[in-house]
Chain A
Amino acid sequence: MAEKNLSLKKVEMPSQAPEVRNKNFDEVALGYTAEMAIEEAKRCFNCPTKPCRSACPVMIDIPAFIQKVAQGEFAEAYKILKQSTALPAVCGRVCPQENQCEGKCVRAIKGESVAIGRLERFVADWYRKNINQTPSRPTSNNHKVAIIGAGPSGLTAAGELAKLGYDVTVYEALHLAGGVLVYGIPEFRLPKQIVADEIENLKSMGVKIETNMVIGKVLTIDDLFDMGNEAVYIASGAGLPRFMGIPGESLKGVYSANEYLTRINLMKAYQSNSKTPIKKSRNVAVVGGGNVAMDAARSAKRLGAENVYIVYRRGMEELPARKEEVEHAIEEGIVFKTLTNPVEVFGDENGMVAGMRCVQMELGEADESGRRRPITKPDSEFVLDVDTMIMSIGTSPNPLIRSTTPGLETNSRGCIVTDGIDGLTSREGVYAGGDAVTGAATVILAMGAGKAAAAAINKYILNKSAEQIAKD
């Protein structure tokens, strides 16, 4: 067995210098070399309790893959990853590891955790570069399943079901598959080629992807059953952006983060030859503190804005974004106006945003979410000089499916109600998962839900077939 690396710190991952990268859309983090990966992998003690594994929403056998990396057996490491995750190159980049696997790592008791995310990314990238074997098509089991939404949850479920021999069709509303991975997360955090390659892999496993198909409009869930599908998985994503309801939100120059990022990522508005326009801003306020807010702020900076502010009503400690994204944003010159809340946006004579009136906040008692409730400080009003405001305060579920599917139960917020982790809805054979059920959450949780639903769908169809055979 190779010797252990007792360093308290993670092996640094090379990245583009902040003052360089905040002017381009190329990937920020450059990834480990093989030597760095092996060195970092040796920091894993392969401890018997494996707390990292139980903290992973898709239960990757983390110590096992890391041991293979330490031994330089990267292809073997990849095989272990693929047993549990359909999209390792994506997870390695976008998972909030500090709250999951790395948060439970025993090395973090004293020092930094093992860099599990970086290692996962390394293995997936190494495989893409050096092996990239197209997966083969499994033997068909002659059962058809439809999946609504080609985002992380739908693609994961599709991969799991295709492996078992199902005839899977994924229906995607947009012109491109990938969901939030292509319209939301920017190129500098997740290169789109990675997503495209993963989707090609699914296709070679026999998964059919139908773009431009808005389920609930062009076809209903009942139509999908009439077409011979035995089960349907709804993974239609988060939906409509929320606004604060303050005066001025309809002014020109107020974007939802969804719109801002869709223009940039899906429609490539950051490229000079793009046919989709985006505002050239000087001073930008992004309201919100999640990953989406960080993506919007860093994109605005890259588009040439001089001053970009994150305006967040709680403190730095409470920011819900992934730690690495906050660090990268600070390095790139994003200014954090925490404990600040906008109360009004005002415009110039042309109806363009000319400024934002804010108040300062302080944290009071913990609220039902367990976080300390922000309270307005008296007489703390001030004006932030901005010409663009990007609202990134969450979404409410898309109404298209619930309004066209009789018998599909939703809760008061419009999220689809499911029975436990299997994702079964109030309709037989209809499963749901990801943001359509939970409201806006993370890529990995959506993937976990896709995996669980695929297993449940498999069980459901097998049982049904067995009953049918018994009857015959």
Chain B
Amino acid sequence: MFKIIEKTPLNPTVTKMVIEAPFVAKKAEPGQFIIFRAKEDSERVPLTIADYDREKGTVTIIYQIVGGSTMELDSFVEGECLHDFVGPLGVPSKTEGLKKVAVIGGGVGSAIAYPIAKKLHSLGCEVHTIAGFRNKDLVILEDEFKKVSHRLEIMTDDGSAGKKGLVTNALEELINGGNNYDEVIAIGPLVMMKFVSQLTKKYNIKTTVSMNPIMIDGTGMCGGCRLTVGGEVKFACVDGPDFDGHLVDFDEAMARSSMYKDFEARKREESCNLLKKGEANNG
């Protein structure tokens, strides 16, 4: 059992949890992920590691409520335990030897971009962070990013925080402003990573994206997380989750990620109703 040490809402739909998982904390690296099961009968859900503390033996996850399983996770409070928590899975992000990098986070993807920015910064790399959100209420980790970025651009769709526009607008501006990046690292919704990759291809800048497809075991057994990368079948759980953004077939990945959309919507509604019932009973 894996105890929840801390639970902090970051915005109305995104929450940070610090989990006691000493074995995972000991080996975790930025870019890797864990799989949790909230209860004995729960689904296995992959989440990228947002932070870790080897001494305290804790791993931080940041999640957005999207379906029944994340809603169930969100019903847990500090001091309670998750039934299963396995990791660190996947290949760590490559951060060695980079001199200047643009790190791009989109929405809750910023939670995963943060540990990479932090690691690059600690290695002496010049980090330019671009974090995009729908509006100012959804901005997360701004202070944390400030500490590990030489430059930080917050972008919102409506301009209610930072600049109005997409992360690709900010990136193009920075590139045109004379910034030569060794690499662009983009983590966020598939469509964002697709357009970042299209842009950087034009400028011929190496681009790494972090893929988060549907997964079950996460250990190289089920094959559900397969992607087409450079015309070859790759498995996000053991070959990734980081891949060359210029080679990923994003359209296929987007189609595959919608496989259980209806089921998820239904489960989310069921969980909502259950919670409401619970609240009514408690009240």
CB of A398 within 8 A of CB of B221, answer yes
State whether B223 touches A240 (Cβ < 8 A): yes
- A138 sits at the interface (CB 8 A): no
**Are B217's CB and A250's CB within 8 A?**
no
Chain B residues, CB < 8 A from A279: 259
Minimum distance in angstroms from A270 CB to a CB of chain B: 13
Using CB atoms, name the residue of chain B closest to A216: B219
- Nearest-CB distance from B34 to chain A (Å)? 10
Interface residues in B19-65 by Cβ distance below 8 A to A read: 23-24, 26-27, 37, 41-44
The number of residues on chain A lying at the interface, defined by a beta carbon within 8 Å of a beta carbon of chain B, is 41
Q: In this assembly, does B66 line the interface, its C-beta being within 8 Å of a C-beta of chain A?
A: no
Measured CA separation A25–B42 after assembly (Å) = 20
Residue of A nearest to B260 (CB): A277
In the bound complex, do residue A218 and residue B238 qualify as a contact, i.e. CB atoms below 8 Å apart?
no
- Does residue B86 face the partner (Cβ distance < 8 Å to A)? yes
- Is A240 a contact of B221 with CB atoms below 8 Å? yes
* SS of B interface (majority): mixed
Establish whether residues A252 and B256, one from each chain, have CB atoms under 8 Å apart when the complex forms. Answer: yes
Q: Is the CB of A241 within 8 A of B219?
A: no
Taking a contact as CB atoms under 8 Å apart, the answer to whether B222 and A262 are in contact is yes
Check if A268 sits within 8 Å of B41, measured CB to CB. yes
Contact A267/B43 with A250-B228, A262-B221 known, Cβ cut-off 8 Å? yes
How would residues 79 to 119 of chain B score, 1 for a CB under 8 Å from any chain A CB and 0 otherwise? 00001111111000000000000000000000000000000
Given known contacts A175-B37, A243-B233, A398 and B219 CB-to-CB distance under 8 angstroms: yes
Distance in angstroms from A281 CB to nearest chain B CB is: 13
Give the bracket for the number of chain B residues in contact with chain A.
35 or more
Name the distance in Å between B28's Cβ and chain A's nearest Cβ: 9
Interface residues of A in 185-235 (CB under 8 A from B): 211-214, 217-219
Smallest CB gap from A211: residue in B: B84
* Distance A262 CA – B219 CA, assembled complex (angstroms): 13
Contact of B86 among A173, A266, A275, A399 (CB under 8 A): A173
**A-B contacts, 6 listed (Cβ < 8 Å):** A175-B86, A214-B89, A217-B27, A237-B221, A258-B223, A398-B220
Using A259-B216, A266-B216, A275-B43 as known contacts, list a sample of 11 further A-B pairs with CB atoms less than 8 Å apart, ordered by residue number in A. A211-B84, A214-B89, A218-B23, A239-B220, A249-B233, A252-B256, A256-B224, A259-B222, A262-B216, A276-B44, A398-B219
Which B residues form the contact surface with A (CB < 8 A)?
23-24, 26-27, 37, 41-44, 68-69, 72, 83-89, 216-217, 219-224, 226, 228, 233, 235, 238, 249, 252, 255-256, 258-260, 263-264, 267
Q: Which 4 A-B pairs have the closest CB atoms?
A: A256-B223, A241-B223, A277-B263, A212-B86
